[in-house]
Structure 1
Amino acid sequence: MNMNTQPIIFDGHNDLLTRLWLSAAGDPVHDFIHGTLPGHLDLQRCRQAGWMGGLFSIFLPPYAYVKNNHPEKLSSSSNLNSDSDSDSDFTPQQVIDICCTQLQLAQQLQDRSEGLIQICTTLAQIKACQHNQQLAIVLHLEGAEALAIKPELLDVFYDAGLRSIGPLWNRKTIFGDGLNASFPHSPDTGSGLTKQGKDLILECHKKQMLIDVSHMNERAFWDTLEIINQPIVATHSNAHALCPQARNLTDRQLAAIKDSGGLVGVNFDVAFLRSDGQRDTQTSLDVIVDHLAYLVDHLGEDQVGFGSDFDGCLLPDELADASDMDKLLERMQQRHFSNELIEKITAKNWFKVLDKIWQ
């Protein structure tokens, strides 16, 4: 790159903790710390790329995915319906155990890293990680199924460092319908937030947590804007005008995020980038830059970041993992993104919005 130094990268979304939980054997925490973990992220590759951390998701994968790909994770003693492929077949205790285990994995990353990894709850801690060349973990709960079963877990998770939540994922819960639709589709896929969903968001708002709208349908999105007074953040979403996936944001939604002082983190998953919605890894990095440029045009230079979805997405071939981030930065330069704008997108905009929410 032509920049004097490669900019640091703070990323709005990854699924590393879920990948660690799904690892079938061995010691995945050791493998991450010592640079041998399969997937998109490990400590060695992160440090090589200047990828200094971001929002790490605690996530309940679809039951059918776990059953078909990681059956060892399903206890034979659990009350499971082995003939069903629905997402509702985890027992309530399994839902809680899966989320709590991922929280424990984050704590193990910190405790076993000899000071190289830190769970952060303030911007000052994140910037200290930047100064000390540590990996900064901000804990994020993607989908609140565990809280539907045991609401007091919100306080438990908060005390352990949770500072960001996406109340909904694709499934319907007591909090709302989630967002699930075939391609192409508008974000208007169902009812908005339930009373329990609004109550949960208000409780998280009181705790000054980031509220992620990335998996909200359009009605839930507008419900959220009506009940909280803080920057609205979509941690890993793209422009619906360029890729009409239901989970991407319309121009009207982008205008509302801009007015709130919020941020959109661009998702690197090819299905949310391509105009045809295809899961085709032969996708140019220019498509990521197209979404970045579109969002900058609609939100301004201070309200766009990265939300890669590393370890939870299908990446373009040119971007095999975090160690290839320099290729994306070079493509941004080639597309006439200034060094100042690149530094904003890679980290400074995330720092700015987190500071607004957490102050």
Structure 2
Amino acid sequence: MIPVFDGHNDYLQRAVQVGEGADELWLQGDGTGHMDLPRLRQGGMAGGFFAIWIPTAQSLNSGETARLMANPPYALPLAEEVDHDTALPHAFRQAAALRRMERTGTLDVVTSAAEIRSSMAEGRVAAIMHIEGAEPIRDMDALHLWHAAGLRSLGPVWSRPTVYGNGVPFVYPGGPDQGPGLTDAGRSLVRECNALGIMIDLSHLNEAGFNDVAALSDAPLVASHSCVHAICPTPRNLTDRQLQLIADSGGLVGLNYGVSFLRTDGKRAPFAGFDPMLRHLDHLLGILGEDGVALGSDFDGALMPADLPDAEALPALIRAMRDHGYDEALIRKIAAENWINLLERTWGS
């Protein structure tokens, strides 16, 4: 089985919601969501980025929102900013949930590429602590504290504003050129992340903020869970110009499995087969090359395709890539190796 290292999941929110049942949820599963330890093992998912994310009042699963997104065009209002004092306790609970998973002996919170390889070789899940939306980080002293706690990847925004910058709304059709760029605090955040070796994630960031990171950062540019705007014109996807900037930096894009970012019509509705995913992968490979494309599922954070309903179904995606004509070396790169090599360059170890 070809191992998969994944660019983004939102499992920790599920773990926090079940509270004292978190160990059972992780070790045995409960039939809900997209991932748990048994399904990761069945699907060959050997590790990935576990996101700390602060829920918003604007639920993408609410009846009215789901109806709008299933019937484009739509334009949802940008979610409101979450203040630091609200965000921090919830972020701590999610970080604690990840460390609790580590105490089961089935998962390691990793901070180097060598640790990723070691955990995978020993059969434990290699988990990167990631923050999606920097609301829990009050200042640079707090960033250093989070780094000491294991943080190695950070997205300055989710799809709402923060004190550091602005995210893109959920709109179809639409482009990423919406709103101003990074604030002074955001530019300081980028510089400090570079100094600490924290990967900066461009997914959800608007175009002006993307441009600011590209101009400031001395690390490879990365979008952990995004797709191609030329195929599906939603602001969450990347234009060819943005993809070329990522390629020029030696960076990487992880393919998002969320159906509303893959379908040419932008509908939030499952589809059968893997043709939309393969079309996006082909386009990404054409600009980024074989070393710049990876996977970024968005498990437990998006609606999945019919034939990829959860992590257990990952071998079907591998077979689809093989049937599409990708050779074994390329599939292994996309599935895991490109992420690990990118992180080694970013983290310096």
Report the counterpart of residue 355 of structure 1 in structure 2: 344
- The equivalences for 1:173-252 within 5 A come to 173-252=162-241
Secondary structure, counterpart of 1:265 in structure 2: strand
Gaps of 5+ in 1: 1-5, 70-84
- What one-letter code is carried by the residue in structure 2 that aligns with 1:294? H
Distance change (3 Å), C-alpha of 1:102 and 1:164? same
C-alpha distance after superposition, 1:249-302 (max 9, x if no partner): 111111110110000000000000001110011343211111111101111011
Mapped to 1, the partners of 2:157 and 2:272 lie a distance apart of 29
Secondary structure, counterpart of 2:226 in structure 1: coil
Report the counterpart of residue 283 of structure 2 in structure 1: 294
Report the counterpart of residue 119 of structure 1 in structure 2: 109
Distance change (3 Å), C-alpha of 1:337 and 1:313? same
Report the counterpart of residue 72 of structure 1 in structure 2: none
Matched, 1:138 2:132: no
User: More relative contact order in 1 or in 2 (CA 8 Å, sep 6+)?
Assistant: 2
- What one-letter code is carried by the residue in structure 2 that aligns with 1:44? P
**Which is greater in Rg?**
1
Counterpart selection for 1:102 from 94, 104, 108: 94
CA contact (8 A) 1:29 1:105 kept: no
CA contact (8 A) 2:81 2:160 kept: no
Report the counterpart of residue 152 of structure 2 in structure 1: 163
Counterpart selection for 1:19 from 14, 17, 28: 14
- What one-letter code is carried by the residue in structure 1 that aligns with 2:152? R
Gaps of 5+ in 2: 64-76
Q: CA deviation at 1:180?
A: 1.1
Report the counterpart of residue 315 of structure 1 in structure 2: 304
C-alpha distance after superposition, 1:297-333 (max 9, x if no partner): 1110111000000010100111110000111111111
Q: CA deviation at 1:131?
A: 0.9
Report the counterpart of residue 338 of structure 1 in structure 2: 327
Distance change (3 Å), C-alpha of 1:86 and 1:186? closer
Q: CA deviation at 1:217?
A: 0.8
C-alpha distance after superposition, 1:169-214 (max 9, x if no partner): 1111221122115211111011111111111111111101110001
Report the counterpart of residue 32 of structure 2 in structure 1: 38
**Taking structure 2 as the reference length, what is the TM-score of the superposition?**
0.91
Report the counterpart of residue 53 of structure 1 in structure 2: 47
Secondary structure, counterpart of 1:318 in structure 2: coil
Secondary structure, counterpart of 2:23 in structure 1: helix
Report the counterpart of residue 75 of structure 1 in structure 2: none
CA contact (8 A) 1:245 1:272 kept: yes
Mapped to 1, the partners of 2:122 and 2:23 lie a distance apart of 21
CA contact (8 A) 1:270 1:283 kept: no
Q: CA deviation at 1:94?
A: 2.9
